[in-house]
Amino acid sequence: MKNSILIVDDIHPIFIEQARALGFTCDYQPTLKADAAFGILPDYNGLVIRSKFQVDKQVLDLATNLRFICRAGAGMDNIDEDYALSKNITLINAPEGNMDAVGEHAIGLLLSLMNNLNAADAEIRKGSWQREANRGHELKGKTVGIVGYGHMGKSLAKKLSGFGVLIIAYDKYKTGFSDQYVREVSMEEIVRTSDVLSLHVPLTKETNGLVDDEYLFHFKKPIFLINTSRGKVVKTQSVLNAIKQGKILGAGLDVLETEKFPALREQPWFDELRQSGKVILSPHVAGWTFDSYRKISEVMAFKLKDVALL
């Protein structure tokens, strides 16, 4: 029981190896159902989870011996952070482990959109060779607006540094972060000057539904929109409306308000979304690479050292 960790999601074995070396015992149960996990949680000091279930007040009250939670990834929106902290539970996440994946995926979406790659590929497969309709836009000389300047936003800015773009960023909770990669600006400047908008905010009460009709209305130029953060930050119908109005030239969405089937198919906007040639979709995998699988676990194990000392 002492120094015992319950692991309820699939993680790289390196975490278990390193946690054991720190004196923890690990119970690796990636296929455990939520209800079964709730039943045995009181037996553990630590919980390792990706996004299998919500760690809300009720779950935290059940977990009477919990000292720490490791989120094998970046987003903490499935954990009631305030309540956990009020119970002196240490929270660990590992955005350093998947920030490279997210930065690269965001650029992949952006370049695919700007060069019509998915649409052009589909046309050729159907026997249609159209050059003019597939004329692309260059990134060079454009202004890329990053909203949310944590690990993911920074990773994107660094990776864009060779493209000859102007990179500006707004973060409601950070100041003084201008450097060789980025210029810190107000949201007003993001809206006024961006050609590309890339979202890197966590999902909170403040960011839920942030990108809606009104928000998009204020952009001065037509934009390419990239969302690799959380689906609920963006109102999908508003993106589709802005595409119709020519305010969004293309949207690369790795995350959606509702994810997975069959729930996604039942959304009123899904048919329009899937038929739009101006949208590229990926199934919430921006941060999920062969490389990040290992790096996330390494970062978590490294941070576990501090817990071991407590």
Which residues inside 89-128 make contact with ligand 3PG, applying CB under 6 A?
Answer: 98
Q: Which of 6, 16, 50, 153 touches ligand 3PG by CB under 6 A? A: 50
Closest approach, Cβ 21 to ligand 3PG, in A, equals 24
- Partner residues linked to 7 by β-bridges: 28, 48
Q: Which span sits near ligand 3PG by CB under 6 A: 71-79, 138-146, 148-156, 240-248?
A: 71-79
Q: Can residue 73 be called a binding residue for ligand 3PG (CB under 6 A)?
A: yes
Nearer to ligand 3PG, 30 or 42 (CB): 30
Query: How many chain residues interact with ligand 3PG (CB under 6 A)?
Result: 8
Nearer to ligand 3PG, 52 or 159 (CB): 52
Q: Report the alpha-carbon distance of residue 226 to residue 229 in Å, rounded.
A: 9
Q: Contact 230/77 with Cβ under 8 angstroms?
A: yes
Nearer to ligand 3PG, 12 or 142 (CB): 12
> Among 220, 222, 226, 225, which residue's Cα sits nearest to residue 192?
220
Q: Can residue 287 be called a binding residue for ligand 3PG (CB under 6 A)?
A: yes
Give the residue nearest to ligand 3PG (CB). 73
Nearer to ligand 3PG, 46 or 73 (CB): 73
Q: Can residue 75 be called a binding residue for ligand 3PG (CB under 6 A)?
A: yes
Residues engaged in binding ligand 3PG (CB under 6 A): 50-51, 73-75, 98, 287-288
